[in-house]
Structure 1
Amino acid sequence: MPSPNGALLRSAPLIRKVAHPPSVDANHLQLSYALSFAIMHLLAMLVFLPWFFSWFGVIAFWVGVIVFGQIGIPVCYHRQLTHRSFKTPKWLEHSFVVLALCSAQETPAKWVAWHRKHHGNTDEQEDPHTPLVNFIWSHVGWLCVKNQSRTPMSFYEKYSRDILQDPFYMYLERSRAAFAWIYLLHAFAYFLIAWAISFAVMRSNAPAFQMASSILVWGVLARTVYVWHITWSVNSLSHIFGYRNFNTPDHSRNNWFVALITGGEGWHNNHHSDQASASVQTRWWEFDLNYYFIKCLERVGLATDVVPLARHRRLNGAASPATLSVADAVT
Structure 2
Amino acid sequence: MFKMSKFWERFFYLLTYLSQGSSYLSPRAYAILHRMHHAFSDTEKDPHSPHHTKNIFSMMWETKDIYNAVLNRKRAIETRFERNYPEWNFIEKLGDSWASRLGWIALYTVFYVLAYVYLDMHWIFFFLLPIHFLMGPIHGAIVNWSGHKYGYQNFDNQDKSKNSLIFDVLMMGELFQNNHHKRPNSINFGSKWFEFDPTYPVIKLLDKAKIIEIRKRE
Output the CA distance in 2 between the equivalents of 1:146 and 1:301.
36
Output the CA distance in 2 between the equivalents of 1:110 and 1:136.
21
1:259 aligned to which of 168, 191, 201: 168
Shift of 1:279: 1.1
1:98 aligned to which of 3, 9, 14: 14
TM-score by length of 1: 0.52
Q: Secondary structure at the residue paired with 1:91?
A: helix
Output the CA distance in 1 between the equivalents of 2:206 and 2:128.
25
In structure 2, the CA distance between the partners of 1:90 and 1:270, relative to structure 1 (3 Å rule), is same
Asked if the contact 2:147–2:177 (Cα under 8 Å) also holds between the matched residues in 1, the reply is: yes
What is the CA deviation profile of residues 96-145 of structure 1, one whole-angstrom value per residue up to 9, with x for unaligned ones?
23333342142111111111111111111211111111332675232354
Asked if the contact 1:149–1:155 (Cα under 8 Å) also holds between the matched residues in 2, the reply is: no
1:131 aligned to which of 44, 50, 55: 50
Aligned pairs, how many?
209
Q: Secondary structure at the residue paired with 1:106?
A: coil
Shift of 1:238: 0.8
Once the two structures are superposed, the pairs formed by residues 149-228 of structure 1 within 5 Å of their partners are: 150=70, 152=73, 154-155=76-77, 158-163=80-85, 166=87, 168=88, 170-173=89-92, 175=93, 177-180=94-97, 181-184=99-102, 186=104, 207-208=117-118, 221-228=130-137
Output the CA distance in 2 between the equivalents of 1:125 and 1:274.
22
In structure 2, the CA distance between the partners of 1:274 and 1:264, relative to structure 1 (3 Å rule), is same
Output the CA distance in 1 between the equivalents of 2:135 and 2:108.
17
2:212 aligned to which of 303, 318, 321: 303
Output the CA distance in 2 between the equivalents of 1:190 and 1:224.
8
TM-score by length of 2: 0.75
Of Structure 1 and Structure 2, the greater helix share is in 1
Q: Structure 2 unaligned segments of length 5 or more: list them.
A: none
Asked if the contact 2:162–2:176 (Cα under 8 Å) also holds between the matched residues in 1, the reply is: yes
1:142 aligned to which of 62, 65, 74: 62
In structure 2, the CA distance between the partners of 1:240 and 1:142, relative to structure 1 (3 Å rule), is same
1:107 aligns with 2:26: yes
Structure 1 letter corresponding to 2:185:
A
Q: Secondary structure at the residue paired with 2:43?
A: coil
1:278 aligns with 2:187: yes
In structure 2, the CA distance between the partners of 1:221 and 1:296, relative to structure 1 (3 Å rule), is farther
In structure 2, the CA distance between the partners of 1:280 and 1:112, relative to structure 1 (3 Å rule), is same
1:287 aligns with 2:199: no
Shift of 1:287: 0.8
Q: Structure 1 unaligned segments of length 5 or more: list them.
A: 1-84, 200-205, 313-331
Shift of 1:230: 2.9
Output the CA distance in 2 between the equivalents of 1:139 and 1:258.
26
What is the CA deviation profile of residues 202-239 of structure 1, one whole-angstrom value per residue up to 9, with x for unaligned ones?
xxxx935x879x8x958865334355323321111111
Which residue of 2 is the match for residue 89 of structure 1? 5
Output the CA distance in 2 between the equivalents of 1:172 and 1:298.
26
Output the CA distance in 2 between the equivalents of 1:112 and 1:126.
16
What is the CA deviation profile of residues 138-171 of structure 1, one whole-angstrom value per residue up to 9, with x for unaligned ones?
752323546898471632855233326x4x1x44
In structure 2, the CA distance between the partners of 1:194 and 1:224, relative to structure 1 (3 Å rule), is closer
Let me know the Cα RMSD of the aligned residues: 3.7
In structure 2, the CA distance between the partners of 1:264 and 1:178, relative to structure 1 (3 Å rule), is closer
